[in-house]
Amino acid sequence: MTSIFGPRLAAIIVKELWLVLRDPRARISLILPPFIQLFVFAYASTLEVKNVTIGVLDRDGGQWSHEIIQRVAGSPSVRGIVRFDADAAVADAINTQRVIAVLRFDSHFSADVSAGRGAVVGAVFDGRKSNAAQIVDGYVDRIVAGVSADVHVARPPPVPGSTDVTYWFNPNLDYLWFTIPSLVVIISLASSTSVVSQSVAREKEMGTYDQLMVSPFRVWEILVGKMVPPVLIGMANATLYLVVNPFVFGVPFRGSLLLFYPSLIVFLLAMTGIGMLVSVVSNTQQQAFLGMFALTVPAFLLSGYAAPIDNIPPFLQLVAEANPAKHFQIVTEGLFLKGMPAADVFTNTWPMAVIAVVTIAVASYLFRSRLE
């Protein structure tokens, strides 16, 4: 064999790149995911709770209920207050989801406060949206505690001591600081796998597969050729986000790009390895598409982005270990916000390298053995 990078390898890489750039369908899968994700994910996929409407049933009408209602209404997370005057109306508003919560003040509320009898705000939440309800409960608690602290009737402080909470890496708990690093993972995942999963299946469907197999290509040349475009596309998308971020979102990147890119490449190799497996076992683009869909949804849900990995059952946590996105999510989050050092990046990169090696090896074995 002459040099590894001969005319054959060059030819197949160039061909694969052109195929992706010229095929209108592939072009769609290049343009659409970043577009959708940028606009929809960055803004829509927020687990923050904002703009809520809260109901109030104020039978008290005194100083303290008024104070609490004022502060709730003034909270940046609250869009508005709806007043009710009967329990039936409260139930109806919650049932029909016009309000997510209702604060109920008894007629002797302010009197209880003034008398130091320990007044109680009755709060009712819509448990159908358990996540949002819980967060709103947190808001309400904080406001009530604030008002409570201002009540000057108490002689000794109700409970001694305090907790000083500091949010490291993201002092204002800005949700975008979580979303944007995660989007780098999701976007490079989605764009690279959608390209690679079609690559072999398309050749089979278009009838070019046989032509390829009777040419003097080595299996590794074909696989390398087919993996270059998705890896480049994944890198391009990630880079796009890195470049756009400071101007649009302003999320800090505190780590080293020299750590980010090698880890990104390993991640993309692992994802394209998985995508290549799907592509090799599929006979049509249709099957490849459905197969990829069936894999990217779990990869997305088990990445730690959709919901914290710590919460899921142990056996699924084990499955998540085989998900490159789970590992890379830690790396991007670490490099963006925490300035993660090389050792930690490496700790989270080698599992992806293992996944890449295994999937690519299996894909090339299947590629060889499924020649018929």
Partner 1 sequence: MSDKFNPRRFGAMLVKESLQIVRDPSTLLIAFVLPMLLLFMFGYGVNFDTPRSRIGLSLQDNSEAAKSLAGSFQSSRWFDVVETGAVSQLSSEMVAGRIRGIIVIPHGFGRQVAWGSGDIQVLTDGSMPNTASFIGAYAEGLRATWAGARAGDRGTTRPPPIRTAARFWFNPELKSRYFLVPGSIAAVMTIVGTLLTSLVIAREWERGTLEAIMATPVGMIELIATKVVPYFLLALVSMTLCSVLAITVFGVPFRGSPLALLVISSTFLFPALGQGLWISAATKNQFVASQVALVSGLLPTLLLSGFIFEINSMPKPIQAITYLVPSRYLIPQMQTVFIAGDDWSLFLPNMVMLIGFGFLFFFLAVRATKRRIA
Partner 2 sequence: MADAVASVHGLTKRFSGQEKAALDKISMDIEPGKMTGLVGPDGAGKTTLIRILAGLIDPDAGEATVFGRAATATDRSMIGYMPQRFGLYEDLSVIENLRLYADLRGLPPADRQASFDRLLDFTDLKRFTDRLAGKLSGGMKQKLGLACAMVRAPKLLLLDEPSVGVDPLSRRELWQMVKDLAGDGIGVLWSTAYLDEAEKCDTVTLLSEGKGLYAGPPQALTDKICNRVLRLAVPSEGRRVILQRALDDPAIIDGTVQGDALRLMLKANTAPPTPQSLGLKSGSLFETVQPRFEDAFIDLLGGGPSGTSQLAEHYRKIAATDAPAIVADGLSRRFGDFTAADLVSFSVPRGQIFGLLGPNGAGKSTTFKMLCGLLTPSEGRGSVAGFDLHSAKADARQSLGYMAQKFSLYGDLSVRQNLNFFAGAYGLKNGDAREAIERSIEIFHLHRYLKENASTMPLGFKQRLALACAVLHQPPVLFLDEPTSGVDPIVRREFWTHINGLVEKGVTVLVTTHFMDEAEYCDRATLIYRARQIATGTPDELKALAGKADAKMEDAFIALIKASNLQREAA
Which residues lie near partner 2 (CB under 8 A)? 6-8, 10-12, 14-15, 18-19, 22-23, 206-208, 210-218, 371-372
Of positions 216, 311, 318, 369, contacts partner 1 by CB under 8 A: 311
The yes or no reply on residue 92 touching partner 1 (CB under 8 A) is yes
**What is the H or E stretch that residue 102 is in?**
strand 101-105
Which residues, numbered 216-235, are part of the site for partner 1 (CB under 8 A)? none
User: Nearer to partner 2 by C-beta: 98 or 370?
Assistant: 370
Count how many residues are written for the chain.
372
CB of 361: closest distance to partner 1 in angstroms? 26
The yes or no reply on residue 93 touching partner 1 (CB under 8 A) is no
Cross-strand pairs, 82 = 55
**Which of partner 1, partner 2, none does 217 bind, CB closer than 5 to 8 A by kind?**
partner 2
Give the C-alpha separation, 109 to 151, whole Å. Answer: 13
The yes or no reply on residue 249 touching partner 1 (CB under 8 A) is no
Residues 6+ apart with CB under 8 A from 102: 54, 55, 56, 57, 84, 90, 93, 94, 123, 124
User: What does residue 81 show for φ and ψ, rounded to 5 degrees?
Assistant: -120, 135
User: Nearer to partner 1 by C-beta: 74 or 80?
Assistant: 80
Which residues, numbered 344-363, are part of the site for partner 1 (CB under 8 A)? 344, 347-348
Q: DSSP letter at 313? A: -
Give the C-alpha separation, 261 to 239, whole Å. Answer: 9
Q: For the chain, what is the radius of gyration of the CA atoms?
A: 28
Of positions 235, 338, 358, 362, contacts partner 1 by CB under 8 A: 338
**Which of partner 1, partner 2, none does 357 bind, CB closer than 5 to 8 A by kind?**
none
Of positions 70, 95, 215, 283, contacts partner 1 by CB under 8 A: 95
